[in-house]
Structures are given as structure tokens and as C-alpha cells.
Amino acid sequence: MSLSAAINAAVWAQLSTDGKPRPDTGEEVMGTDYKYDPVGMRNFLHGVCLRLAAQTPPLTFQWHALDVDTCLSDSVIALCGYIATATA
């Protein structure tokens, strides 16, 4: 699976686990449309980290490197890009 596909799958799965709907357009904003707050966003990122670590081969997502406020104010598509920059 490509890095992009793995990240998308992890993000979509974490949204589902958190009881949120899948994105319709990808332009949904984590803070306003999905109603995440800073603590919830950190928990979301940690959940994505665990999902990526469970991939074969495992991926290392340095979720602490991301700015929570930026993640809250941007779209799901942008968030996936941020995650990609912090994942190896």
C-alpha cells in the first residue's frame, strides 16, 4: 500500500472509531465540521499513529511534530498531507 493510501485509510478509520462520518469532499475541517478540540485532535493523531504503526511494514508517524491548532483549522485533505510529512 502506498504511503498516501495508508494515511487515508488510517484517517478514515480513526474518524469512524471516533463516531464521525467519512469525508464527502475532503474539504471538511477537523475543528468546525468534525468538532474536534485540541485534546480530541491530539487523541485523533495518536490513534492514527497507532494505526500506521500496525501497517505491514509499520510506518512511524511523529504525531507530536504536528501543530494541533493547524490541524484543527485545516481540511481533512490538508491534514493527510501534514501526516505524510511526519511519517516515514
pLDDT at residue 1 tops 90: no
Mind giving me the DSSP string for 31-88?
A: TTTS---HHHHHHHHHHHHHHHHTSSS---B-GGGS-HHHHHHSBHHHHHHHHHHTB-
What single DSSP character describes residue 26?
S
Q: Is residue 39 part of a domain?
A: yes
Q: Is residue 61 part of a domain?
A: yes
User: How many structural domains comprise the chain?
Assistant: 1
Q: Is residue 74 part of a domain?
A: yes
Cis peptide bond prior to 57, omega within 30° of 0? yes
pLDDT digits (tens, 9 = 90+) for 35-82: 999 999 999 999 999 999 999 999 999 999 999 999 999 999 999 999
Output the pTM of the full model. Answer: 0.94
Identify the domain containing residue 8 by its residue range: 3-19+33-85
pLDDT digits (tens, 9 = 90+) for 15-48: 999 999 999 999 999 999 999 999 999 999 999 9
